[in-house]
Structure 1
Amino acid sequence: MIIFTEEFKIYVLPWISLSVTLYIAYYVYTNILCAIHDKIKVRRIIHKKQKEREHAFQKLENRYKLDAKSEKILQLPLDQLLTELRKRKLTAIEVLDAFMAKALKETREYNSITEFVPQAHIWAAQLDDLKEVRGPLHGLPISVKDNCNIEGMDSTLGFAKYLYKPEIENANLIASLKDLGAIVFCKTNVPQSLFCWGCGNPIFGETRNPFNRLLSPGGSSGGEASLIASGGSALGIGTDIGGSCRIPAHMCGVSGFKPTKMRLSPVGFKSTVSGVVGLNGGPGIISKSAGLIAAVFKELTMPGVQNKYDRLTVPITWDEKTFTSAKPLRIGYYTSLKFFPAVGDTEKVVLDAKSALEAEGHILVPFEMGDGFDVAELVSDFAYADDGYNSLKIWKDEPIAQSAIFHYVMCRIPRCVRRFLAYIMSCKCLPTFYFYSTRVAAFFRGGATKSRELWSSMEKRRQILEDVLAQWHRLNLDLVLCPTFAFASVPIKAAGKLKPACIYTMIWNLLDFPVGTVSFGTESGTKVDSYDNEDDFLLKTAQKALKSSAGMPIGVQVVGLPFQEEVVLRAMKELEYLRSIK
């Protein structure tokens, strides 16, 4: 037993008590009150931005009105629109005004645009003042994803901490597009963090699907796909590190394209996972027309166009002969992956595309892709190799969007706890059977947080790549045809819970193959009830969500070998034509 002297009680103990009290007060102030203050500050910044955005939209609506002339311009086929701009039959300002009016109208309905580019009208006027056309894309209005840097504008990624921090220069790709004559006129919405396939954030809200406002447009380039599907933009620039161009293109019934890494310059595109290895991402292109995607990609890959700004872009020029070839192609195909079996009419649409291609003289043969579980674990290993550190640092004091909930949980829960949960979720015999899901467990097990684990994961990736290439060459293939996604668009609230469904697109980021998506059918809703959900919580969630999806578009993926983008784009264009005549 400790006995204190009277002197200690009189002279020392009060100071100890005061020190402890002050320390507790300091801790409460710094860790609780300051945190509350910071969160309130964030919400005030968000509210300020929302008011400014609404005011800006109202001013633009007073200036840009849809009229008969605008409607006529908007109804032109995109290749004809480009031709008339180059021949000066239409001015850049006339075309820009038409798309501005349409984009304003559609964003009020579907919330696809975050901000309009203030300089766009000036750029259009400068093009009209030139004696000769600026380039092959002279006067073409294009939209870009929120994370694409434009001088003087924010790139937020859905986070308030990036508001009122304008970028000091354009992304290299934007500089190249401007050199070719294009006009960037707006930025489009994204899911918070970009590492998910919904499309909502606390600043700009939820983007909606033009086919059904209650359903998700996909993501993370969801604002782009929604705007293009509704006719508010001719062409959009997005990014794709796990399907972020192809998934929204699939869900909104348009075309999306991801080239091999470094075919398009990634410099100036903001990311929450900029140091990630193993997942190969970069800029992608979205449009209603695969022909326009091909035309823009062709011009961007011409000598000196991108290398002028980024010496690391691969200097392979466009191969027109390959793109225009009529030689029959050998195409492998698969219709589903065991990791997330296709729901509804997804398999039927792939088989319809197969039949259409065969009718044109192409040869299609089965392709064995594996079950996908190994790919899912590798994707998680690479995506969460930092144990969520970088993402959580950005998320500090920020409200969390429902579209990003799966990604946030993966970042927030320590790896050791995730692995324990993965064990529980893999066991049907436990009382937690309701949450049984081998699919979620595969993601929860991931996260190569040590160098030796990361090296091991890179070796596994190499082995999968070699297996795919060996089969590709054994079958003497030009392309592979497969689903873009496990299902059609689902309700907005469901998107944040179903992240593992992106396995169909992530495979090709893992392996770094060029790949495009073309819409080729619709969901009937007649096969959803008969889906075998294997008592898996994730599959049951998808099955329930898809009951709202009748009539939604379904796309197919066309995959080529690295740096053979022309073959992919040729097939995309042909599939678009076959869809139009079926």
Structure 2
Amino acid sequence: LLLRWRQRRALWRKVAAAQERQERSLVRMEAAAQRFREQHPSVNPVSILSLPLPELSKKLRDGSLPPDHVFYAYVGKALQIATETNCITEFLQESENQLRKVKLMEKQGLLYGVPVSIKDSIDCQGHDSTLGFIKHLNKPAAEDSVVVQVLKRQGAIPFVKTNVPQSLISYDCNNLIFGQTRNPLMFTRSPGGSSGGEGALIGGGGSILGIGTDVGGSLRFPAAFCGICAIKPTGNRLSKRGVMSGIVGQKAVAAAVGPLAKDVESLALCMRALLCEDMFSLDSTVPPLPFNEEMYSSTKPLRIGYYETDFFTMPSPAMRRAVRETKQLLEEAGHTLVPFELTNVDHVVFNYCVRGMFADGGKSFVKKFKGELEKGGAAMFIWLAKAPHWLKTLLCWISKPFVPRFSGIIRSMEENTVDEVWNLHQEIEDFRHQFIAQWSRLNLDVMLCPMLGPALGIGYPAKLSVAISYTMLYNALDFPAGVVPVTLVTDEDEEQLKGYKGYYQDWWDRTLPKAFRGSVGMPVAVQCVALPWQEELCLRFMKEVETL
């Protein structure tokens, strides 16, 4: 007992030291912003912060806006948003050196002078990538991840790291070290996750461009919840070298690195900058596919598949309305909309996603929490992973008639043999081809899909793990998928929510309307999806939706 007490005390000391470091970071940001304001009293940060990225970038490159004016305007704003939402874990102090280096660059990159925020799990030299785990504290990365190296070569200035949920396997944003991040639009709401710090910072206007990751919706949830845009590319379109993963080595469900920003044109600019020779030479496993300008700038009318529900998670009234209104506006703009029939999403969620990520019965996931002080929002998965086989079998059998989805999760958490894992990978591959065949039969260019929203109340994502169905489908398929906000929750949506029943009438279906309640005025997004390696077409479709 004494030994355990001493170990726990040592862990709490590490947490306290990390929190002090976070606090010092914010103090340094305040000092830097204050110093700049005193030296340049005539600079108006509001006019800089109001510029969209393409315009800001143009002004930086033509010299009409000095990089330090932009940098310190965003340092000041980021500090304000961090104070309100607790989204920043660390100020990258070397960003001030990077600012000086950028000014001396012979060749200006596409992101010359642009401050960029970076998700905690993406390596920045000399800084921790914690994933919200105490065991990862005081283990600074030896070098920048490839994506950060490319950003710097393109003239960008990574300036802060942002908060994540413990383990990343969550769509909230809370961990014991740095605490809960709040939604900048409504502080009682979650900013989404796992790139939740990014969503909060960009949604609040404290960063103009951010880089996150996505293995089940981790870019798309924060974007949708915070009213901004994001794209999850095909898994290997951007380098994942130096990017920490929630479940290392898992290949069934494709993870991806991608950008978040206020608008689609900013995402396109970021993708254009990243898809360059530097990316392809620094990581030769990334296919050398430069940004396809022709595909992105095409004005050809699109043939668009759409669906309003996946028949697994009943959409909120606002989600359904968002798809219907967007469909109608797209038709009025001259595009063709074709209903797409989605089937067996329950099988995809349980048999491909949950089983794929926990194919070892959750052993490697549980190991991550060994020696930690808390289990965060993953308590149910950890308990199931630790439960003996006989208990899982019994629970699965008893719960099947009453709570079929809980039974499905238990069944998916069984340990698999190597042979079973290989068969699972083959099944997922077959499913991808069947989905593409259905897409081809309808002769589709892109797909319009619902996106979970509005933002759930803080703490609710941990109770609603099944609601990842709309996003995780496209990780299992490894299709590019972007999110664009299209509407706000109305009083009528709120009224209709009282009649929400769900498809299973289980505990999750009873909890979801409570999580949505009280959201009038909050943003609701749609998902825009394209076939693998067609990020430019996905972005082009997102731009069409954005401009409706």
Alignment TM-score, normalising by the size of structure 2: 0.95
Change over 3 Å in CA distance of 1:34–1:82 after alignment to 2? same
Change over 3 Å in CA distance of 1:552–1:438 after alignment to 2? farther
The C-alpha deviation readout for 1:309-364, integer Å capped at 9, x for no partner, is 10000111221111111101101001111121112311110111111111111100
Query: Does structure 1 residue 91 correspond to structure 2 residue 57?
Result: no
Match of 2:122 among 135, 143, 148: 148
Q: Which residue of 2 aligns with 1:349?
A: 322
Question: How far, CA to CA, are the matches of 2:523 and 2:91 in structure 1?
Answer: 28
Change over 3 Å in CA distance of 1:419–1:92 after alignment to 2? farther
Q: Which residue of 2 aligns with 1:562?
A: 532
Question: How far, CA to CA, are the matches of 1:121 and 1:576 in structure 2?
Answer: 35
Q: Which residue of 1 aligns with 2:474?
A: 508
Instruction: Provide the aligned C-alpha RMSD in A.
Output: 1.6
Change over 3 Å in CA distance of 1:412–1:87 after alignment to 2? farther
Q: Is the 8 A contact 1:440 1:538 kept in 2?
A: no
Match of 1:315 among 282, 288, 296: 288
Q: Which residue of 2 aligns with 1:272?
A: 246
Match of 2:408 among 442, 465, 469: 442
For residue 299 of structure 1, report the CA deviation from its aligned partner: 2.2
Question: How far, CA to CA, are the matches of 1:276 and 1:213 in structure 2?
Answer: 34
The C-alpha deviation readout for 1:527-557, integer Å capped at 9, x for no partner, is 2111123431111011222213332211111
Q: Which residue of 2 aligns with 1:472?
A: 439
Q: Is the 8 A contact 1:402 1:493 kept in 2?
A: no
Letter of the 1:84 partner, please give it. Answer: K
Q: Where in structure 2 are the equivalents of 1:90-489 lying within 5 Å?
A: 90-130=65-105, 132-302=106-276, 304-377=277-350, 378-400=352-374, 402-414=376-388, 416-428=390-402, 437-447=403-413, 449-485=416-452, 487-489=453-455
Q: What stretches of structure 2 of length at least 5 have no aligned partner?
A: none
Give secondary structure in 2 for the equivalent of 1:345.
helix
Q: Which residue of 2 aligns with 1:16?
A: none
Q: Where in structure 2 are the equivalents of 1:1-12 lying within 5 Å?
A: none
Question: How far, CA to CA, are the matches of 2:186 and 2:429 in structure 1?
Answer: 41
For residue 268 of structure 1, report the CA deviation from its aligned partner: 0.3
Q: Is the 8 A contact 1:35 1:397 kept in 2?
A: no
Match of 1:82 among 57, 65, 70: 57
My pick for the range that moved more, 72-81 or 61-70, is 61-70
Change over 3 Å in CA distance of 1:453–1:420 after alignment to 2? farther
Q: Which residue of 2 aligns with 1:497?
A: 463
The C-alpha deviation readout for 1:126-180, integer Å capped at 9, x for no partner, is 21234x4531110011001000000000000001111111110000011011111
Identity %: 37
Change over 3 Å in CA distance of 1:88–1:401 after alignment to 2? farther
Structure whose alpha-carbon radius of gyration is higher: 1
Question: How far, CA to CA, are the matches of 1:62 and 1:506 in structure 2?
Answer: 42
Q: Is the 8 A contact 2:358 2:365 kept in 1?
A: no
Change over 3 Å in CA distance of 1:59–1:321 after alignment to 2? closer
Q: Is the 8 A contact 2:369 2:375 kept in 1?
A: no
My pick for the range that moved more, 563-572 or 447-456, is 447-456
Q: Which residue of 2 aligns with 1:41?
A: 10
The C-alpha deviation readout for 1:488-537, integer Å capped at 9, x for no partner, is 21111211111111111111110111111111112231221111234311
For residue 460 of structure 1, report the CA deviation from its aligned partner: 2.5
Question: How far, CA to CA, are the matches of 1:332 and 1:86 in structure 2?
Answer: 40
Give secondary structure in 1 for the equivalent of 2:327.
helix
